[in-house]
Amino acid sequence: MKASGNCFKVRLLLEHLGRTYRWVEVNSAAGETRTAGYLAKNPNGKVPLLELADGRTLAESNAILCYLAEGSKYLPSDRWQRAQALQWMFFEQYSHEPYIAVARFIMGWLPQDHPRRAELPRLRERGYQALDVMEKHLGANEFFVDGAYSIADMALYAYTHEAHLGGFELTTYPAVQSWLARVESQPGFVAHRY
C-alpha cells in the first residue's frame, strides 16, 4: 500500500540494495487485506507482505527488513549490534508506530468529525515520549546502531519523517531533524511518494 510507512520501509531497503522487485498495490483502507485470497497469504491481514519467487511469504515490515538486509551493510553481523538494531525495531513497532502512525492515519484518512479523533491527545502524548527517546539517543549518536546507517534507521524514518501529518511538531527535536536529513542523504535513498 503506497501510503503506508510500513510498506515504504521495505521499498527503501530494496532500493538501497538495488534489488529487482515487483510492487503489488494492496489497499487495506479499501478492505483488500481482508479478502480470502489475501488472508491465505497473510492470515493477519496486514501489509506489507513479501512474496518470494517460489511463493513463500513473510509478513511484518521489520522482519522483512531483517530478512532482506541479511549479509548487507544495512544489518550488522556482530551479535551485539544486531541485538541493538532489533531493540530499536521493536521500539518502533511498540512505542512509536502505534502513536505516530495512527495519529497520521486518523488525521489524514478519517473524516474531520470521526469519533476516533478523541484518541489524538493520548496518541500525541505517547508519540512525543517516543520522540524524546529518539532525541536523547540521536543527540549523542549519528544513527541508531553504532554510528552506521542500518535498517533500524529505515524503520524509524518511515513514520518520523511524516510525524507532522499526525500533528507532531519537530522544532524542539533538533537531533531528530538532523538525523532525518542524514537518512535522506544516504546513497540510493528514495522519498516516500504516494
Residue 160: CB partners within 8 Å, gap ≥ 6?
Answer: 96, 100, 131, 134, 176, 180
- Does position 41 interact with a copy of itself (CB under 8 A)? The reply is no
Site residue total, a copy of itself (CB under 8 A): 33
CB of 130 to a copy of itself, least distance (A): 8
Select from 2, 31, 73, 80 the one that contacts a copy of itself (CB under 8 A): 80
State the cell numbers at 91: 521500539
* Cβ proximity to a copy of itself, 79 vs 193, nearer residue: 79
* Cβ proximity to a copy of itself, 29 vs 190, nearer residue: 29
* Cβ proximity to a copy of itself, 90 vs 190, nearer residue: 90
Select from 21, 23, 94, 109 the one that contacts a copy of itself (CB under 8 A): 94
CB of 80 to a copy of itself, least distance (A): 7
- Does position 78 interact with a copy of itself (CB under 8 A)? The reply is no
Mapping DSSP onto H, E and C, the string for the chain reads CCCCHHHHHHHHHHHHHCCCCCCCCCCHHHCCCCCHHHHHHCCCCCCCEEECCCCCEEECHHHHHHHHHCCCCCCCCCHHHHHHHHHHHHHHHHHHHHHHHHHHHHHHHCCCCCHHHHHHHHHHHHHHHHHHHHHHHHCCCCCCECCECCHHHHHHHHHHCCHHHHCCCCCCCHHHHHHHHHHHCCCCCCCCCC
- Does position 117 interact with a copy of itself (CB under 8 A)? The reply is no
| Per-residue mark of binding to a copy of itself, 3-22 (x: CB under 8 A) | --------------------
Interaction site with a copy of itself (CB under 8 A):
43-44, 46, 56, 58-64, 66-67, 70, 79-80, 82-84, 86-87, 89-91, 93-95, 97-98, 132-133, 136-137
